[in-house]
Amino acid sequence: MSESLILHGECLLPGETSAPVVRLSAPLSLWGGFSLEDGTVCDVNHPDYGSRLAGRVLVMPGGRGSSSSSSVLLESARLGTHPRALVLAGRDPILVVGALVAAELYRVSIPVIRLSPGDLERASTGGFARVFSRPESAFIELGGKNSEFGIK
Amino acid sequence: MFLDEIDKALLGGEFGESARRAMRLLLPYGEILGAQRFIDIASAHIDSCLYHGRSGLDFVRYLQEGDGRVRVRTTLNVTAFDLEQPELSRVPGEAVRIQRDMVDAYLSLGCLPTMTCAPYQQAQRPGFGEHVAWAESNAIVFANSALGARTDRYGDFTDICAALAGRVPAAGLHLDENRLPVLLLDVPGPDETDLERDLYFAALGYLLGEIAGSRVAAITGAPLDTNEDELKAIGAAAASSGGVALFHLVGVTPEAPTLADLPGGSVAHRKRISKIDLAAAADRLCPAEVGEAVAALCLGTPHFSLAEFRDLAGRVDGWQPAPGVDLIVSTSRTIAEQVRGAPWAASLRSVGVTLISDTCTYLVPTAIRSDGIIVTPSAKYAHYAHGNTGRRTALMSLARCLRCAASGQVVP
């Protein structure tokens, strides 16, 4: 990939990171759907069962609403199996709260941005992304020079 | 967000470090919800006390800084096991220790040791129109729908922060405009279906959640004598298959004496539910095959009420489970105490009912003696238990559950 694509969104939690992308085709409840041990999707009914989320920019429509997902995100930050950033289609307070507490308790930064549902689909698993999230400007940069991300 | 004097004082540390930390989390939370300001709450119900890992303890310890106390009456949701009978649940020793430390920490903040998912069964409960900050999906939907109290969907971390601050963002279901139905479901009454009455309510709730998602629906056609335990069954099911936090049962729930009391009701999207739809919803939660072995009958998801215990005591008088089949009922400590000593509950003791408190048997694997399927009249149990505990489960009416438990195998 040589051309980079920049998609602008809304900052839900500030931060910056670069990592490989994993895009889920359906919302995932981290509670009951995400394995804290190995950082993968463990909901057998989810279309992306087995996908690795740890260390990735997690792009997904949303979180399905279980409030225990805040706790699961926090616990993953403690264990180091957390996604590096969250890119969502909605203003999901549950995941933002989990990420906010992770920053406060463990100094683990998990920036969160919201994109339009159409833009969300333009990110694909296996690509690379830079996430930049500030109240005044938030975007995800897809592709670009891979060397810039330090990953072959 | 606009901040009142009290909000500024809370953020400025005038109410202590715990309240300041709580408010610092509630402020960005309120902004994401699009709230304009904060409002007072009358009570809180905490789900953050349930063990999900060491971080849950780290969080409450973080909030304990500076001798904090909750500013409103605050009840605790279930924990991962029965604190007095941990051997009934299969939980690793490290988790047992951390869970106990978590409960102690919440009690030190002034929370009440209720450990129940049904705080609405306690003597003191929210009044009509009162703002509260409740967590636990079934408690939220019950408070909003059956009591007409007003809570948004609180949950891990925001619940205890609201309790410490005594304030919540004015958003979601605290606001009039978000409590009106956008969906109207016409349902047949139980007598017009082929389902027994308890299975009817479980199926109705499960279908409601599937159709409504997280939207507010009004339902017409359900029985006008629908009782609180039946509202509990509808809400718990709808908050499992969907994210329902409020429904109006026209003629039953307090915000909907008639359809005309719901200004949105006349313009809402209308959908007719058939008896076939209801039967299919019940079937989706009943993968059992006639003849397969039954290991246990699990009741009390959400926690069994006193009225449900009285009904069960009548049903099991002269009844016996097949050898090796367990009959386990989850309930609160308060209700368990009343049941344990009650003369009317002698039949429950003679059939060997196991009472489990502080937790619920769908959360973690329970000490069940036999292999085989678990039968339950709870749609919430049937929805979650397989994923959480690895045990196959089947939804059926309580009468059929008892027939299955008596014969040791699934019967029609």
Question: CATH number for the domain including A80?
Answer: 3.50.30.10
Distance CA(B246)–CA(B231), nearest Å, equals 11
Check pLDDT > 50 for residue A147.
Answer: no
Query: Which candidate, B189, B274, B248, B188, places its Cα nearest to that of B223?
Result: B189
Q: Give yes or no for B322 touching A (CB within 8 A).
A: no
| Residues whose CB falls within 8 Å of the CB of residue B194, separated by 6 or more in sequence, listed in order | B275, B279
pLDDT at B265: 57
Average pLDDT over residues A75-90: 96
Provide the domain count of chain A. Answer: 1
Which of B25, B54, B56 is opposite residue A100, by nearest beta carbon?
B25
Q: What ranges make up the beta strands (E) of B4-72?
A: 38-40, 43-46
Confidence of residue A32 (pLDDT cuts 50, 70, 90): confident
- Of all residues in chain A, the one with the smallest CA distance to B214 is A65
Contact A96 B29 (CB under 8 A): yes
Contact A64 B58 (CB under 8 A): no
Which of B53, B55, B158 is opposite residue A97, by nearest beta carbon?
B158
β-strand pairing of B354-357 with B373-376: unpaired
In angstroms, the separation between the Cα of residue A19 and the nearest Cα of chain B is: 25
Structural contact between residues A107 and A77, judged by C-beta atoms closer than 8 angstroms: no
ipTM of the complex: 0.90
Q: Could you tell me the pTM of the whole model?
A: 0.94
- Of all residues in chain A, the one with the smallest CA distance to B55 is A75
Q: Give yes or no for A5 touching B (CB within 8 A).
A: no
Q: What ranges make up the beta strands (E) of B2-65?
A: 38-40, 43-46
Q: Give yes or no for A103 touching B (CB within 8 A).
A: no
Residue owning tokens 């609201």: B162
pLDDT at A47: 94
Residue type, A91: R
Which of A67, A91, A104 is opposite residue B156, by nearest beta carbon?
A67
* B354, β-bridge pairs: B328
Quick: pLDDT tens for A46-74. 899 999 999 999 999 988 777 889 999 99
Q: What is the mean pLDDT of chain B?
A: 95
Q: Give yes or no for B240 touching A (CB within 8 A).
A: no
Name the CA radius of gyration of chain A, rounded. Answer: 14
pLDDT at A148: 47
Confidence of residue A144 (pLDDT cuts 50, 70, 90): low
Helix, coil or strand: residue B315: helix
Q: Give yes or no for A94 touching B (CB within 8 A).
A: yes
Check pLDDT > 60 for residue A152.
Answer: no
Determine what percent of chain A is predicted with pLDDT higher than 70: 92
pLDDT at B264: 65
**Within 13 Å and on the Cβ side, how many CA atoms surround B312?**
29
**Which stretches of chain A are DSSP H helices?**
30-33, 68-79, 93-106, 117-120
In angstroms, the separation between the Cα of residue A144 and the nearest Cα of chain B is: 31
For the four alpha carbons of B148, B151, B156 and B157, in that order, the dihedral sign comes to negative
CB contacts < 8 Å between A and B, how many? 90
pLDDT at B266: 59
Supply the range of the domain harboring residue A131.
4-149
Contact B29 A91 (CB under 8 A): no
For the four alpha carbons of A125, A129, A131 and A137, in that order, the dihedral sign comes to negative
Q: Which of A64, A74, A106 to mutate to test the interface with B (most CBs of B within 10 A)?
A: A74
pLDDT at A150: 44
Segments in chain B below pLDDT 70: 264-268
